[in-house]
Amino acid sequence: MSALLFYLFAALTLGFGLMVVTARNPVTSALSLAMSFVGLAALFISLDAYFIGTIQILVYAGAVMVLFLFIIMLLDIKAEAGRKPSTVAAVGGILLAVILALQITTIARDLTLGGNSTADVPLTLEKAGAEREAKKGLPTITNDLKAGVLPDAKLMGETLFNNYGFHLQVIGLLLLVGTVGVVVLSKREKEAAP
């Protein structure tokens, strides 16, 4: 069952990805990308990364693509009527893509880790919970683990705030800088006073 679901969502992601690249109308491209992200989120969830999958839909499909659509509407971009991409660029792009994909596939096949499936690396939740209790870990996480549930968001939070606190602050600063930058970049140049 899970294999079927995987193939379904993988096909979704790649198919809509292809539509992004080949669509004429920019709005079509944007919406296809949004759908591709949804497929990607499904793949995340199939990997037991619930938090990341949710974040993917919320931020990427929900905020980023909406922003893209806003800009497309704002700039009122028509479809690329009659302007074919230059053959050189197209050929170059396709060639490069194929070569890269082949390389990645070949590397992947050589990975020793690659042959594992999820069954081979099972999550032993109860045991992890017992260990945490012994080390006096967070009770919320420990209880969930002992109950046999993966508290994904809570574990993410623990990792982030325990190990990457400084990085979080920097990211916050980055977002601030981004905001300020966008405001500055959007100003129209004032006409010189006559």
**Residue 81 CB, nearest approach to other proteins (Å):** 12
**Residue 101 CB, nearest approach to other proteins (Å):** 4
How many residues bind to other proteins according to rule CB under 8 A? 95
**Residue for token pair 């129209």:** 188
53 CB-contact burial (10 Å; exposed 0-12 / middle 13-18 / buried 19+): buried
Report how far apart the first and last C-alpha atoms of the chain are (Å, whole number): 73
**Residue 193 CB, nearest approach to other proteins (Å):** 21
Binding of residue 173 to other proteins (CB under 8 A):
no
**Residue 118 CB, nearest approach to other proteins (Å):** 7
Smaller CB distance to other proteins: residue 120 or 192? 120
Instruction: Judge whether 129 and 146 are in contact, CB under 8 Å.
Output: yes
Smaller CB distance to other proteins: residue 48 or 139? 48
Instruction: Judge whether 66 and 36 are in contact, CB under 8 Å.
Output: no
Return the C-alpha torsion angle 144, 145, 149, 150, nearest 10.
110
Interface pattern 77-96 for other proteins (x via CB under 8 A):
x--x--x-x---xx-xxx-x
Pick out residues in 7-66 that bind other proteins (CB under 8 A).
10, 13-14, 17-18, 20-21, 23, 26, 29-30, 33, 36-37, 40, 43-44, 47-49, 51-52, 55-56, 59-60, 63-64
Binding of residue 1 to other proteins (CB under 8 A):
no
Distance of CA 34 to the CA centre of its chain: 11
The Cβ-side half-sphere exposure at 37, using a 13 Å CA radius, reads 21
Pick out residues in 99-158 that bind other proteins (CB under 8 A).
99-101, 103-109, 111, 113-119, 121-125, 127-128, 131, 150, 155-156, 158
Near other proteins by CB under 8 A: residue from 8, 73, 147, 160: 160
Q: Largest Cα–Cα distance in the chain?
A: 77
Residue 105 dihedral angles phi and psi, to the nearest 5°? -60, -45
DSSP 8-state code for residue 115: G
**Residue 134 CB, nearest approach to other proteins (Å):** 12
